[in-house]
Amino acid sequence: MDDRRRRFEAQVLPHLDGAYRFARWLARSPEGVDDVVQEAVLRAYRSFDSLRGSDARAWLMTIVRNCHFTSHAQRRRRAEEALPEDFGAADEDAVAAAMTTAADPESELIARDEQQALTDLMARLPEKYSEVLVLREMEDMDYRAIAAVTCVPVGTVMSRLARARAALRKQWRLQAGELRAVP
């Protein structure tokens, strides 16, 4: 194995799971996510020499985001816009596996319902809000890295994150019946 490939595997591939999760949230359905991530990894490998001491994680997430938008634009041009789908069985299994700390089946069911509700509410957020929320809360990226991925200033990241959290909180309360819906 050559040195370039070894460095690529050491610096970029550890972030593959995060890239997949990010692509899944951007796509809002499992359709095409594998293709987007595969294209992103290929592009990353081809241009790996351009990565000079910067954050490989943010660099890969930027490529995933660009590949998603390219793929999305191509689907729109072909007029094959897919409707958002619910999580597939594989995603439900992953959610269930993540909740192994639940004490009983009822707790597991409640936790799974809450996860599905959160997923549904996040799908309603505008993309510019959901992407910063996913990168911060699920991928644990700092504001500067998120700004690099989304190509916006750090202040914009912070305001989008605050708005996303507020909108999510409000929708969660509306769904829970704590607030009355305003017509």
162 pLDDT above the threshold of 90? yes
Q: What is the pLDDT of residue 76?
A: 67
Q: What is the pLDDT of residue 112?
A: 78
Report residue 87's pLDDT band, with 50, 70 and 90 as the boundaries: very low
Task: Give the CATH number of the domain where residue 69 resides.
Answer: 1.10.1740.10
Q: What is the pLDDT of residue 156?
A: 94
Which tokens is 6 given? 């070894």
| 45, part of any domain | yes
| 163, part of any domain | no
| 24, part of any domain | yes
What total of structural domains would you count in the chain? 1
- DSSP secondary structure, 22-78, as one string: HHHHHHSSSTTHHHHHHHHHHHHHHTGGG--SS-HHHHHHHHHHHHHHHHHHHHHHT
Helix (H) or strand (E) holding 9: helix 3-11
What residue numbers bound the domain in which 5 lies? 1-85
| 38, part of any domain | yes
143 pLDDT above the threshold of 90? yes
